Amino acid sequence: MNVLIVDDNANDRKILRYTLEHHGCEVTEAKDGQEGFELAKRLQLDLIVSDALMPRMDGFEFLRMVKMDDKLRSIPFVFHSAVYTGLKDKELALSLGAEAFIGKPMEPEGLWEELASILQKCAAEIKIPAVAKSMEGEEEYLRKYGSVVAAKVGEKVRELEQNIVERKLTEEALRESELQRYRLQAEIACAAEMQARLLPGSYPDLPDFEFAARCLPARQVGGDFYDWIVVASDIIAITLGDVMGKGMSAAMLMTTAMAAIHAATLQNGPAAAVQLAELAIRSNLERFESFVTLFHAHLNVRARTMTYVDCGHGYVFLRRSDGTVEELSPRGLPLGVMAKEQYQEGMLTFEPGDTLVLYSDGLIDASPELALNNQILAGHLGEAATAREMLAILLALPMLKGPPPDDLTVLVIRAMNTPPG
Instruction: Kindly report which listed range (4-13, 160-169, 188-197, 284-293) carries the lowest average pLDDT score.
Output: 188-197
How far is it, in rounded angstroms, from Cα 297 to Cα 310?
9
How far is it, in rounded angstroms, from Cα 402 to Cα 27?
32
- pLDDT tier at 65 (50, 70, 90 boundaries)? very high
Better-scored residue on pLDDT, 371 or 307: 307
Sequence letter at residue 63: L
Asked if 264 contacts 276 with a C-beta cutoff of 8 angstroms, the reply is yes
In 3-state terms, what secondary structure has residue 94?
helix
In 3-state terms, what secondary structure has residue 216?
strand
Mean pLDDT of 191-213: 79
Output the pLDDT for position 162: 82
Output the pLDDT for position 341: 66
Instruction: Kindly report which listed range (57-61, 109-113, 414-418) carries the lowest average pLDDT score.
Output: 414-418
Asked if 405 contacts 339 with a C-beta cutoff of 8 angstroms, the reply is no
- pLDDT tier at 135 (50, 70, 90 boundaries)? very low
With 80 as the cut, is the pLDDT of residue 116 above it?
Answer: yes
With 80 as the cut, is the pLDDT of residue 185 above it?
Answer: no
HSE-CB for 171 with a 13 A CA cutoff: 6
**Global pTM value:** 0.59
Question: By percentage, how much of the chain surpasses pLDDT 90?
Answer: 48
Q: What is the DSSP letter of 84?
A: S
Output the pLDDT for position 355: 96
Output the pLDDT for position 155: 66
How far is it, in rounded angstroms, from Cα 59 to Cα 182?
45
In 3-state terms, what secondary structure has residue 158?
helix
A 10 A CB-CB count for 360 gives 29
Question: Residue 124 phi/psi, 5° resolution?
Answer: -90, 10
Output the pLDDT for position 119: 87
- pLDDT tier at 184 (50, 70, 90 boundaries)? low
With 60 as the cut, is the pLDDT of residue 368 above it?
Answer: yes
pLDDT tens-digit map of 316-361: 999 999 999 999 999 989 998 876 668 999 999 999 999 999 999 9
Better-scored residue on pLDDT, 410 or 121: 410
How far is it, in rounded angstroms, from Cα 281 to Cα 334?
12
pLDDT tens-digit map of 206-220: 889 999 999 888 776
Output the pLDDT for position 93: 85
- pLDDT tier at 421 (50, 70, 90 boundaries)? very low
Q: Which residues of 166-180 are buried (b: 16+ CB within 10 A; e: fewer)?
A: eeeeeeeeeeeeeee
A 10 A CB-CB count for 266 gives 12
Asked if 412 contacts 356 with a C-beta cutoff of 8 angstroms, the reply is yes
In 3-state terms, what secondary structure has residue 77?
strand
Output the pLDDT for position 336: 87
Output the pLDDT for position 391: 96
Q: In the chain, what are the domains?
A: 2-152 (3.40.50.2300), 199-415 (3.60.40.10)
How far is it, in rounded angstroms, from Cα 238 to Cα 66?
47
Output the pLDDT for position 27: 95
- pLDDT tier at 109 (50, 70, 90 boundaries)? confident
- pLDDT tier at 251 (50, 70, 90 boundaries)? confident
- Bridge partners (DSSP) listed for residue 4: 28, 48
- pLDDT tier at 311 (50, 70, 90 boundaries)? very high
With 90 as the cut, is the pLDDT of residue 239 above it?
Answer: yes
- pLDDT tier at 153 (50, 70, 90 boundaries)? low
Output the pLDDT for position 128: 43
With 80 as the cut, is the pLDDT of residue 132 above it?
Answer: no
pLDDT tens-digit map of 16-56: 999 999 999 999 999 999 999 999 999 999 999 999 888 88
How far is it, in rounded angstroms, from Cα 379 to Cα 368?
18
Average pLDDT value over all residues in the chain? 84
Going by C-alpha positions, the residue among 41, 68, 355, 372 that lies closest to residue 209 is 355
174-178, 221-225, 317-321, 338-342: range with highest mean pLDDT = 317-321
With 90 as the cut, is the pLDDT of residue 412 above it?
Answer: yes
